[in-house]
Structure 1
Amino acid sequence: MIPDSITLADLILANLFLMAGACLQGVAGYGIGTLSAPLLFLLSPLFVPGPLVVNAVVLAILLLLRNRASIRFREVRYAIGGSIVGTTLAGLTLAVITGTAFDLMFGVLILLGVLVSVAGLRPALNPRNSAVAGAASGYMGTVVAVGGPPIAMIYQNEKGPLVRANMSAFFLFTSCASIVALFFAGRLGLPEMKLFLLTLPGVVTGFLLSATLVQRLPFSAMRPLILGIAAVAGIGAMVRGLTGG
């Protein structure tokens, strides 16, 4: 059963948030977590991480099919290996964390993601950095459904088609691993799957919209707004966790 606290207005807003995030990921290679997760959390913590992670799997499949000609699996395999470690640690974390502690952790990890995005670091795309970024992305992607910033950091100097293809392959694997971790941590059940189905139309619409905007949308111009939204939501989550309400 879907909790009574989720209203029709909540579902409409959730679909709009996911549409925007899916469109952004279709253009830039990542973004559904960075943009949608903080907004969904402020709407209702029930939307994250479970329903959003399952939606991320669907989106990753669609984007991987669209960009399959540009994939270079040899490069992304190291990030996938690192993500296994991060996802396992995240599953253990979620198995023991309490409600208010989760709010606090959500806020901290969101702000960490923002800091990573604005730090200006430009690590080389090599096996070691890929594994480290993969581990960080796997952990953050499972706990708060925001795994984009760490892995995006090592692809920031690469061209668009390669970024979208390799990151889609990475997110497909890590999101599937996150689903397993969330299930065993008791964070993904029937209510979360129902919310996933009710918000899937927003993701599909955003994916379709991104095909017309991929060459037109100035991601660099939107980046400050996206990170600003994430930062405000992260602070809000921390306040909620500290006050217990």
Structure 2
Amino acid sequence: MTDLTLLQIILANLALLAGACLQGVAGYGIGTLAAPLLFLISPILVPAPLILNAVILTILMVVRNRGALQIREVRFAIGGGVAGTLLAGGTLVLISPKGFELVFGILILIGVLLSVAGLRPTLNARNSVLAGAASTYMGTITAVGGPPIALIYQNQKGPLVRANMSAFFLVASFFSIAALVASGYLGQRELQLFAVTFPGVLIGFWLSGKLVNRMPFDGLKPIILGIAAVAGAAALIRGLMSL
């Protein structure tokens, strides 16, 4: 019913487990790590099933880190997210399934470039709006919305990062879901795919609680970005070949 084999379902759960564990430790990462892997397993796993899983994860993270939440800082990014959602919805309506692979690959590679560019924007209202718009646009189409918003939080402390970014991702995920429904990218099949893959997210979140002060995120970052770059390039090539 999900159009996936048992092996694909197992691999998808493992990818989501790793991504959820990473996000539970660092504040973001489920999209950056899991989306490219899921796309390689089967393109039907992104973006909607992954975004639905991200909603579950961000709810759990907001509850876990609620003591460090500073909602006044998040509201500017959420405002930018409205614009990003509208733009993403328009993009999804206009592109074909073949064009989706091309756009997916381009945006994944942009996310990787943002992560390695060394940019250090300050955490202020203007940058929060811009980051929120870019993050929601990329997150709606690819489920990789972490890099833009992570740039403005890179100099902040761990609990604040996990709390504020989780609050933003939660609201942005609902924006993205609305855009996916409106553009026809979220239906019964995507709900079924979510149902068979969310156990990986739950296990990954539980595991992150054990590793939150032990996992060397900085050391893993090059590996994560390398995986994303390979998958993004593969999607880009597939999209170009199908034109």
Q: Does 1:129 align with 2:117?
A: no
Name the CA distance, whole Å, in 2 between partners of 1:40 and 1:87: 22
Residue aligning to 2:176: 178
Residue aligning to 1:203: 201
- Where 2:126 maps in the other structure, the secondary structure is helix
- TM-superposed deviation, 1:188: 0.2
Residue aligning to 2:2: 2
- TM-superposed deviation, 1:96: 1.8
Residue aligning to 2:65: 67
- Where 1:123 maps in the other structure, the secondary structure is coil
Name the CA distance, whole Å, in 1 between partners of 2:88 and 2:78: 15
Q: How does 1:1-245 map to 2 (within 5 A)?
A: 1-3=1-3, 6-244=4-242
The code of the aligned residue for 2:7 comes to A
Moved over 2 A (4+): none
- TM-superposed deviation, 1:99: 1.4
TM-score (norm 2): 0.99
Name the CA distance, whole Å, in 1 between partners of 2:74 and 2:152: 11
Name the CA distance, whole Å, in 2 between partners of 1:180 and 1:104: 23
- Where 1:217 maps in the other structure, the secondary structure is coil
- TM-superposed deviation, 1:47: 0.2
- Where 1:35 maps in the other structure, the secondary structure is helix
CA deviations on 1:165-209 (whole Å, 9 max, x unpaired) are: 000000000001100110010000000000001000000000000
CA deviations on 1:71-99 (whole Å, 9 max, x unpaired) are: 00000100000011001110111112111
Name the CA distance, whole Å, in 2 between partners of 1:15 and 1:234: 20
Name the CA distance, whole Å, in 1 between partners of 2:187 and 2:98: 20
The code of the aligned residue for 2:218 comes to S
- TM-superposed deviation, 1:100: 1.4
The code of the aligned residue for 2:156 comes to E
- TM-superposed deviation, 1:2: 2.2
The code of the aligned residue for 2:223 comes to L
* Number of equivalent positions: 243
Name the CA distance, whole Å, in 2 between partners of 1:45 and 1:14: 11
Gaps of 5+ in 1: none
- TM-superposed deviation, 1:107: 0.5
* Identity over aligned pairs, percent: 65
